[in-house]
Structure 1
């Protein structure tokens, strides 16, 4: 009975809070009002990158592109619930663990958090599966002036496995914020394959052209 009362109270409170995007209408779903939620550039289909299908919630277009940039670079963490909610709308394969896209220590120090890990935490709670981080990322250098092949080789060299992970999973889901060429996901996938992962899927908030 107490759980039902708390659920009703939370639902009532949510209807009183303003949308985190427009700040006008009441929250309808994942902290967004109905109009803002419906106005997102929905895709809800996989895109093909590096011969791998990546489940994508949306196109990388307005207003989601602005929301992601503010969440990623400007510490607008109040968007976390809404963005994690986008991933929950997708029909994903059955998995044993979630692998957030790692960032380098330099990037982590600069931002103060890994945006993909924050997204992964929301999806982890929803799917009731653990977060697994067996791979680390070395310092990310500027790729300006590099050829496509050189860019791919540089990204592949950025990912290294942690020494002897205590736990291993065979069915995993990579979580990233935005996919463009898919090079980072491909490089991470190769590392996970060396850990005997046999079913590796990937999901992102938005797919860019």
Structure 2
């Protein structure tokens, strides 16, 4: 049933475009009308190159200097604020799969040549059955198609269900996902694009990057549609 719902939603998105997702005005060739697209909050011009948190001059933030994450770089298309939160929620909870394609194209524009493999953040099978699809996988497919890169959706997986990160205080999130991922492939020497929809604390992406590095990954770039900022 969930798979059928996802397929029907995908078909409707492709068959009946034409309205701006945010304001409902005519937008026959794009997800958003030009006015709404121009209002989307961009990430800060000066941010930490490792975690994309806002900094004064683009230097590494204190958190990354004190306790460096396992991912080497973060690329974000938007700042997670209104109305970007509505766009991502339309994908995540409204099954608006056209959003994934739209986000994927914007992320692809940020990525420089030299990457080798795309890995979407995995969902546990229980969560996947609940939602019907993996939003990170849908975004990853769009990025892979745009860049002509392979998408590995099998090697990295969740070995146990975890509490929703959004329901936990920031200090509890790293503990919640510790040991929740496994990798079955040899990633030796690979440059990996690890894709998710939103980065808040970065705990889940950090744990995934840790596992990928344990399996030999040379470089892991966290690629997210939106970055939630502390300030």
Both proteins in one fold, TM over 0.5: yes
The count of corresponding residues between Structure 1 and Structure 2 is 190
Cα displacement (A) at 1:142:
5.1
1:86 is displaced (CA, Å) by 2.4
**Greater Cα offset, 108-117 or 50-59:** 50-59
Residue 172 of structure 1 corresponds to 192
Offset from partner CA, 1:110-164 (integer Å, 9 cap, x none): 000000000000000011010013111121125667782x5323312211223xx
Gapped regions of structure 2 (runs ≥ 5): 1-16, 54-63
**Who is 2:25 aligned against?**
24
Q: 1:81 to 1:161 in 2, by over 3 A?
A: closer
8 Å CA contact 2:187, 2:216 repeated in 1 = no
Q: Deviations over 1:84-114 (max 9, x none)?
A: 2321332445210101011111110000000
Alignment correspondent of 1:159:
181
| Aligned partner of residue 189 in structure 1, secondary structure | helix
TM-score, length-scaled by structure 2: 0.72
Which residue does the alignment assign to 1:135? Answer: 156
| 1:200 alignment counterpart | 220
CA contact (8 A) 2:187 2:217 kept: no
Trace 1:53-64 onto structure 2 (pairs within 5 A): 53-64=73-84
Q: Structure 2 matches for 1:62-141, cutoff 5 A?
A: 62-92=82-112, 94-133=114-153, 134-137=155-158, 138-141=160-163
Q: Secondary structure at the match of 1:42?
A: coil
Q: Would you say the 8 A contact 2:101–2:138 is kept in 1?
A: no
Distance 1:114 1:44, change over 3 A: farther
Whose strand proportion is higher, 1 or 2? 1
Unaligned runs of 5+ in 1: 1-15
**In structure 1, what is the Cα distance between the partners aligned to 2:26 and 2:164?**
42
Bigger mean CA deviation after superposition, 172-181 or 139-148: 139-148
Q: Aligned-pair RMSD on alpha carbons?
A: 2.6
